[in-house]
Chains A and B, each alone.
Chain A
Amino acid sequence: DVKVTQSSRYLVKRTGEKVFLECVQDMDHENMFWYRQDPGLGLRLIYFSYDVKMKEKGDIPEGYSVSREKKERFSLILESASTNQTSMYLCASSLSGSGDGYGYTFGSGTRLTVV
């Protein structure tokens, strides 16, 4: 019954490494989002995409990039991981349009630790 899948639940990476976080949804949603979640700061939007090969910066894009080559897959890339990127990363998807049921469906999250 899993609809938004994040490839890893836990990751430990070293400072300076290039890190890929993968997200796949099977609901044919147009919109996909990457958030990070930190205590006291809530969910902060990193990047989002409304269509294949399309991407938009969110509120905190610095140090991150994204890739959306296929509709169902949205990848978050940490170009050179730093300790301040240690966080819980949440992927979400949604239908394009308006109405009941057009909210986000979230993945289970990836807890990334950069050492």
Chain B
Amino acid sequence: GESVGLHLPTLSVQEGDNSIINCAYSNSASDYFIWYKQESGKGPQFIIDIRSNMDKRQGQRVTVLLNKTVKHLSLQIAATQPGDSAVYFCAETPNFNKFYFGSGTKLNVKP
């Protein structure tokens, strides 16, 4: 079956520093990847996505990097703010009909 996992369950960073959250996936056929942010008591929210024909995509303060060779995905958050504190999930799909999620990394931003 599919397997999507995260290297670190909890990450603590200082406000203003950059954060890097990592994710490993097992299905080399996966074609599309998404990072979600879930704040306490809320549903996951879309942050950024990337197709397998790309290795980098940038958004506002966030960058996703994809390394297909080692099946690794990362989310970089620049100038981390207290509002970035949340659980971050990566998700992958080989066919766009169903996504597979990792268990999440909790990001703590220290003031």
Contact = CB atoms under 8 A, between A and B. Distances in A.
Interface of A: 4, 6, 31, 33, 40-43, 45, 48, 50, 90, 92, 94, 96-109, 111
Interface in B39-56: 41-46, 49, 51
B99 A104 contact: yes
Nearest to B6: A42
**Chief secondary structure at chain B's binding surface:** loop
A98 B96 contact: yes
B101 A107 contact: no
**Most central of A6, A33, A40, A106 by chain B CB within 10 Å:** A106
B46 A103 contact: yes
B103 A109 contact: no
B98 A103 contact: no
Contact of B43 (A45, A97, A99, A106): A106
6 contacts: A40-B103, A42-B89, A43-B89, A99-B96, A104-B34, A106-B44
Contacts of B51: 100
A43 B43 contact: no
Closest 7 CB pairs of A and B: A42-B103, A106-B43, A98-B96, A43-B101, A103-B34, A108-B43, A106-B44
A42 B43 contact: no
